Amino acid sequence: MDELIRIGIAEYAISKQPVILRTAGLGSCVGVVIYDQERGLSSMAHVMLPDSAISRNREAEIGKFADTAILEIVKRLRANGALRLRAKIAGGAQMFQFKYEHESMRIGERNIASVKDMLQKTGIPLVAEDVGGTNGRTIEFHSKSGRLVIRTVNVGTLEI
Amino acid sequence: MLNSDQKDIFREIGNIGAGHAATALSTLLGKPIEIEVPSAELESFTTIIDRVGGAEAYTAGALLRFSGDIRATLLFLMPLHDAEKLIGQLMKSEFQFFSDSHEMGVSAWEEIGNILIGAYARSISDWLDLSLQVSVPASAFDMVGALLEVALLESSTPGNMALYIDTHLSSAGNELTGHLLLLPEANAFQTVFQRLGVDIDG
């Protein structure tokens, strides 16, 4: 069994070994997996917010924002020799349905848009996604096979 | 962390809120219900997630927002099976989420959430002399980690902390566990502690 690395909210991890990367209870947050399967490099981030412009302490909060997390991870993967990076993403749900909520509160949708925008800017193809909806997700990436397993409590398990 | 004076005050707010909530819920359920507050504390999200059973624990959540003198979010969480028991008492029949009676149960849950959170809100506004308006409740039933994220976004407190009130409900032989989280928005934390007579910088 490959090593299991757990990633908490606003954290990320990078591995050069065969590994299982796991993050539990994604709601409006987005789990971003960026990997180079041929070279055995993999990563996962649990991003909370779309844009680091609001951050007061950007150095300490790299993993919290879609823009800073993706830039940092891509930089480090490439420094380790990554040539053919691909991405899979999951999350960005809206957990509570508010009756009178402002559009700007739809943080899940904004997280998804920002993640996709950053992947495009860094030239990384998005090969699979399971985003939006109203369900929480626990995701597990198996770096050897490139499988991303997505578990929900209300609609079962999915693999992308 | 809170010092022992702050803890006492906060626990008192929790107890009074629990008293209001017990009276209102007993009326709603038509039978006596007792609510105790074993602890009230300023806690990190990591600790709170552990206390409610881990990020994947299947949980019912009800959420209300305050506006007025301060802006804050109140989130009430209960393990799904406990919530089903409580709703079953209200509906006077066995209840399960995602069954045929799901919608009715959700309404009942929102009503329970409204009463519970409203009672605590009244206690907070009385103690802190704050004028507060409370929104209509929203509900969700899912992994507790996913439910808590909504609260994380609201609070930009250092270290992602929330005021956490542990609650035990007992009614008709059922022992139920609930967790109430008060999440003031950035500037509201200061207001809350000033009204408590506490210098948060000192």
pLDDT tens digits for A75-125? 999 999 999 999 999 999 998 877 655 655 688 999 999 999 999 999 999
Cα dihedral B53, B54, B55, B58 sign: negative
State the count of interchain CB pairs (< 8 A) between A and B: 82
Q: What is the pLDDT of residue A101?
A: 59
DSSP string, A64-126: GBHHHHHHHHHHHHHHTT--S-EEEEEE----S--TT--GGG-HHHHHHHHHHHHHHHTT--E
Task: Find the residue in B nearest to A64 (Cα).
Answer: B153
Would you list the domain boundaries of chain B?
A: 4-195
Mean pLDDT in residue range A72-77: 96
Query: For residue range B87-127, what is the model confidence (pLDDT) as tens digits?
Result: 998 888 889 988 888 899 999 999 888 888 888 888 888 88
Are A96 and B140 in contact (CB < 8 Å)?
A: yes
Q: Chain A residues with CB inside 8 Å of B77's CB? A: none
% of chain A with per-residue pLDDT over 90:
74
Mean model confidence pLDDT for chain B:
82
Average pLDDT (B129-150) is 87
In angstroms, the CA A140 to CA B2 distance is 37
**Residue A36: what pLDDT?**
97
> B162: which 2 tokens?
């929330």
CA nearest neighbour of B49 among B164, B156, B135, B130: B164
Please tell me which residue of chain B has the smallest CA distance to A7: B55
Which range in A142-151, B7-16, B118-127 is most confidently predicted, on average pLDDT? A142-151
Cβ within 8 Å, pair A28-B140: no
Residues in A lying within 8 Å of B, measured between beta carbons: 8-9, 24-29, 48-49, 93, 95-100, 107, 134-138, 152-154
Q: Looking at residue A102, what is its pLDDT?
A: 60
Flag whether residue B186 sits within 8 Å of chain A, measured between CB atoms.
no
Residue in B56, B61, B138 closest to A24 by CB: B56
> How many domains is chain A built from?
1
Q: Is B139 in Cβ contact with A9 (below 8 Å)?
A: no
Express as a percent the part of chain B with pLDDT over 70. 90
Q: What is the C-alpha separation between B61 and B71, in angstroms, rounded? A: 19
Nearest beta carbon to residue A136 from set B135, B136, B143: B143
What CATH fold (topology level) applies to the domain B4-195? Chemotaxis protein chec (3.40.1550)
- Mean pLDDT (chain A) is 91
Tokens of A62: 């790299």
Distant-in-sequence, close-in-space partners of A145: CB < 8 Å, separation ≥ 6: none
Determine whether the interchain pair A95/B54 forms a contact, defined as Cβ–Cβ distance below 8 Å.
no
Helical segments of chain B, H only? 4-29, 45-51, 80-91, 102-128, 144-154, 188-195
A141: how many CB neighbours lie within 10 A of its CB?
A: 26
B47-95: pLDDT as tens digits: 888 888 888 999 999 988 888 888 888 889 999 999 999 999 888 888 9
Mean pLDDT of B7-21: 83
pLDDT band at B155 (very low <50, low <70, confident <90, very high): low
Asked if A153 lies within 8 A of B54 by C-beta distance, the reply is no
Catalytic residue positions of A? 29
Its domain, for residue A69, covers 3-159
Q: Check B149 against A154: CB less than 8 A apart.
A: no
- Closest partner CB to A25 (pick from B46, B146, B153): B146
d(CA B55, CA A23): 9
What pLDDT band is residue B202 in, cutting at 50, 70 and 90?
A: very low
**CATH number reported for the structural domain that contains residue A125 in this entry:** 3.30.1330.200
**Distance in angstroms (rounded) separating the CA atoms of residues B92 and A104:** 40
- Asked whether residue A64 carries a pLDDT value surpassing 80, the answer given is yes
Interface check B134 vs A, CB under 8 A: no
What ipTM does this complex have?
0.84
Q: Tell me: pLDDT of B185 over 60.
A: yes
